[in-house]
Structure 1
Amino acid sequence: MKAKVPWRALVIAIILVMATLSLIRYTAPGRGGFTPLEAALRDLTAPAGSVFTRVGNSLSRVLAFPVSLPRLAEENRRLKQEVDQLKAQLYVAQEYRQENQRLKQLLDFQSRVAPVLNMKTVPAAVAGRDPSNWSGMILLSKGLTSGLRAGQAVITPAGLVGRVVAVSQHSAQVLLITDPRSGVGAYLQQSRSPGIVLGEVGAVSSIVMTHIPSDIPVHEGDIALTSGLSGLYPKGIPIGRVLRVSRESSGLFQQATLDTFVDFERLEEVLVVTGYQPVAAPAGALPYPWGAGASTNPGSPGAIGAGEAAGESGDGW
């Protein structure tokens, strides 16, 4: 007895075979476009495919992150080292540039200004400060072997610093004019008023000129110079300019608070005056605040009169 084949199953099989052959035909390479069915299916599944792609990429990065952590940490450490090295090189370059500028100013003063004043100077670096008297004492890197002696004046291209009070073979101690124990004979350029310059307790760059006669007008901006009368300093070294004027407590004299030309907080190199002979500096031969020619206005560039530039009174060494 023969088995019967259901006709419905046969029809379904034929339809499936035809559909398969049609799909093979329409998806073969080289076709010019999609069938309507393919286009509809692709449009329907494209957003989902994009989402799945992004999710897959994110998962891939998340799964790969732990593996890449050691490499990223090493790269970060290397970059930090490079940044630190570049910063250090920049700081060193800045220090060299600033030191070069300061030394150039010292050399320019030695070669152009000191010969006009008939001064011999020796450059020295500031090697240290007295911790117990920061604003009063400095230590220099040169001593007897370089020609330094106690009593010599110490200056910068800006003006008066102080004087050598103690010296060894290779170092020297300098008493600054900002120290209350320091006394400098001085006069005001415009008014010609004499006085004594003293340091103030607790001040770094502020000093006071005392014992100014009360009958002489003193103006703000007037320039104070060494008088040379004490014999400790050559005449005509710039000290500072007048900030304000007041009466002394006794009421007999005036006093003037001076702003120093020298920046004592940034003092790194100085010049020690090892020799000096008084001469009259030619007008216009000296820069501010040393400049030749008497001032007619407070604070003007002239700082030393032509006949007073280096102390014609004979004071000095």
Structure 2
Amino acid sequence: MFKLFNNKRLFILLITLVTFIVLMGFSLGQRKTLSWPENFLRDTTGFVQKLFYKPAGYVAGFFQDIGTLNELAEENQRLKILAAQYARDKAQFNFIKAKNEQYEKDLQFTKAQKNMYKYEYLISNVVSVTTEPGNNTLVIDLGAKDGIRLNMSVTSIEGLVGVISNVSNFTSTVKLMTMMDINDPNSQPPIAATAVNKEGKTFGMIESYDQQNGMLLMNKIPVGDPIAKDDIIISSGIGGRYPRGVPIGTVEEVKVGQYGFTSTAIIKPAAGFQDWKELFVVYTEERVE
């Protein structure tokens, strides 16, 4: 009886060992599909992982949302500050505007004086470009029929480009700022200029363009003028030929003149004088002298 029991245990052990070896070989072999025990084990494991990972993901997402809410709160605070600043600036602007209108009324400004700094921007397409030495010009598709007149300013999105030098019925020629030369009477007229946030304190005349380094020269800057490197130069509007506030360029360097009475600012043009497709003509009503 004891012997039979031992034989049965040995038989079960052998069957188990053979089954294990077969399963090992079956698992290690190259198969396209998994066996049902492997499928069962993988599905069970995946289900358990899903039970734990999904809540964990919710918890992690919750804390991430809390962090995002903090960022949104800070951004909202900054926007509130900007909105308050805008409200103050708008109120200040409206106040200054009302005072100016009152001054115009009290001083009996003429219509031409009231419209001096009221501009319209007419968009135009560039028809052709001439890059001959001493003749950097381009032609736009606006002319006399559109109200274009000589010496109107032409700008790009970046800044001042040049002036209208010739007008026909349907097209106009633009003389670029790269043609500015103080010694050439046929050159583009000088530009009265100032610096942003230094209006009334900074003044000079942009009279020429240095062909070698591609820089504009702002001359006749008086002694003690606060102009400095990185200042943004704009047209001052003095003289009425050029519109007020048009970007011209950025100061690269300020040099004191030979005798120390004036300075010259080296200005990097804002316009860049690139291959433009569209430009804007600054339109103003014709002034009756």
Letter in structure 1 aligned against 2:148:
L
Q: CA–CA distance in 2 between the matches of 1:168 and 1:204? A: 34
Q: From 239, 251, 260, give the equivalent of 1:242.
A: 251
Q: What residue is the counterpart of 1:185 in the other structure?
A: 192
Q: What residue is the counterpart of 1:196 in the other structure?
A: 205
Say whether 1:258 aligns with 2:267: yes
Q: What residue is the counterpart of 1:143 in the other structure?
A: 143
Larger Rg: 1
Letter in structure 2 aligned against 1:174:
V
Letter in structure 2 aligned against 1:266:
D
Percentage of pairs with the same residue: 24
Matched positions, count: 163
Q: CA–CA distance in 1 between the matches of 2:211 and 2:277? A: 21
Q: What pairs with 1:66-81 in structure 2 (closer than 5 Å)?
A: none
Letter in structure 1 aligned against 2:284:
G
Q: What residue is the counterpart of 2:130 in the other structure?
A: 130
Kindly provide the CA deviation profile for residues 266-310 of structure 1, in whole angstroms up to 9, marking residues without a partner as x: 333100112369xxxxxxxxxxxxxxxxxxxxxxxxxxxxxxxxx
Deviation for aligned residue 1:255: 0.6
Q: What pairs with 1:44-123 in structure 2 (closer than 5 Å)?
A: 118-123=118-123
Q: CA–CA distance in 2 between the matches of 1:244 and 1:233? A: 24
Q: What residue is the counterpart of 2:222 in the other structure?
A: 213
Q: CA–CA distance in 1 between the matches of 2:248 and 2:133? A: 21
Q: What residue is the counterpart of 1:227 in the other structure?
A: 236
CA pair 129-249 structure 1, distance change in 2 beyond 3 A: farther
Q: CA–CA distance in 2 between the matches of 1:268 and 1:250? A: 44
CA contact (8 A) 1:205 1:264 kept: no
Gaps of 5+ in 1: 1-116, 278-314
Q: CA–CA distance in 1 between the matches of 2:122 and 2:150? A: 14
Q: What residue is the counterpart of 2:65 in the other structure?
A: none
Q: CA–CA distance in 2 between the matches of 1:134 and 1:146? A: 29
Q: What residue is the counterpart of 1:162 in the other structure?
A: 162
CA pair 239-276 structure 1, distance change in 2 beyond 3 A: farther
TM-score, normalization: structure 1? 0.46
CA contact (8 A) 1:135 1:203 kept: no
2:249 alignment partner, SS class: strand
TM-score, normalization: structure 2? 0.50
Letter in structure 1 aligned against 2:233:
A
Q: CA–CA distance in 1 between the matches of 2:214 and 2:128? A: 18
Deviation for aligned residue 1:204: 7.8
Q: What residue is the counterpart of 2:4 in the other structure?
A: none
Q: CA–CA distance in 2 between the matches of 1:269 and 1:205? A: 22
Q: CA–CA distance in 2 between the matches of 1:203 and 1:274? A: 32
Q: CA–CA distance in 1 between the matches of 2:234 and 2:259? A: 25
Q: What residue is the counterpart of 1:152 in the other structure?
A: 152
Letter in structure 2 aligned against 1:209:
M
Letter in structure 1 aligned against 2:193:
A
CA pair 148-129 structure 1, distance change in 2 beyond 3 A: same
Q: CA–CA distance in 2 between the matches of 1:171 and 1:210? A: 33
Deviation for aligned residue 1:247: 2.1
2:274 alignment partner, SS class: helix
CA contact (8 A) 1:177 1:198 kept: no
Kindly provide the CA deviation profile for residues 127-173 of structure 1, in whole angstroms up to 9, marking residues without a partner as x: 22333347742221221122211121111222211211210112111
CA contact (8 A) 2:119 2:243 kept: no
Q: CA–CA distance in 2 between the matches of 1:226 and 1:201? A: 19
1:178 alignment partner, SS class: helix
Kindly provide the CA deviation profile for residues 82-122 of structure 1, in whole angstroms up to 9, marking residues without a partner as x: xxxxxxxxxxxxxxxxxxxxxxxxxxxxxxxxxxx843222
Q: CA–CA distance in 2 between the matches of 1:209 and 1:163? A: 18
2:284 alignment partner, SS class: strand
